[in-house]
Amino acid sequence: MKIVVKENYADMSKFAANIIADLVRSKPNCVLGFATGATPIGTYHELARMYKEEGLDFSKVISFNLDEYLGIGMNLKKTYDLDQSYRRFMYEELFSHINIKLENTHVPDGLAKDPDKFCLQYEAAIKSAGGIDLQVLGIGGDGHWAFNEPGASFKSRTHVERLTKKTLDDNYEAFYKKAGVSAEQMPHFALTMGIGTILEARSLLMLVNGTRKAEIIAKALEGPVNANVTASAIQLYKGDSTIVLDREAAAKLTYLG
């Protein structure tokens, strides 16, 4: 596990983007795992800049996103049923700014008629693509990975997860409130890759910024491995993992060498 501390959000975003870009250059048909939320936006915008200004080619890249709210979504024709879908987020923050083929992008289908069946199909699609080469990750305020809430099994696969009050409150303030969506309208369930699925990626790239994440990232990286902080599963990971933090997020880490 490699921990990299950058001075600020802009620097960490550029550093992370370069890791992704190096993989795309060395393996043009790589399989990337993407995350949503505020933290990776800077990284995605830097990748878009690299495409426009440096010719970084995503035309053969395949992607899989970690999660999506159950009951909302956006299809490949870019029509919405609710503005806060993660498919919309990925399209607006990254996919529409690079030359990735939309048919090669996979985001869990929040509108699936049979969510449990879809979860099995999502796992099969990842396997069919050859597995994920690099998975981008963040961390929730209570230490959750993707939408694997406290108590989720470390062996879990893609599944339907009931969201905790902490997650609902955090996401409402970050996304739904400013969109004019009431707390009652906000989805209370999500489709998410499981911890077991995430740990099968060939490499992990975890991005964390800001003072409010300092305590929880310290617990995840240096505390005991336990299901109440599902991101602590990164301590069990056998592959190449890089955690990129800004100085604020790294403030409570003890072991930085």
Active-site residue among 68, 109, 133, 142?
A: 142
Rounded Cα–Cα distance for residues 135 and 40 (Å): 12
**E strand or H helix that includes residue 192:** strand 189-192
For 182, other C-beta atoms within 10 Å of its C-beta total 9
Spatial CA neighbour of 195 closest among 141, 233, 236, 139? 233
For this structure, is 57 an active site residue? no
pTM: predicted TM-score of the whole model, two decimal places: 0.91
Question: CA triplet 126, 190, 98: central angle to 5 degrees?
Answer: 55
R_g over Cα of the chain: 17
Q: Could you confirm whether 149 is annotated as catalytic? A: yes
Catalytic residue list contains 144: yes
- Domains annotated for the chain, with CATH where assigned, are 2-246 (3.40.50.1360)
For the chain, 257 residues long, the average pLDDT of each consecutive 10-residue run is 96 98 98 96 98 98 96 60 76 96 95 96 98 97 93 96 83 64 76 98 98 96 96 96 97 82
* Catalytic annotation present for 240: no
Q: Of 68, 109, 149, 161, which one is the catalytic site residue?
A: 149
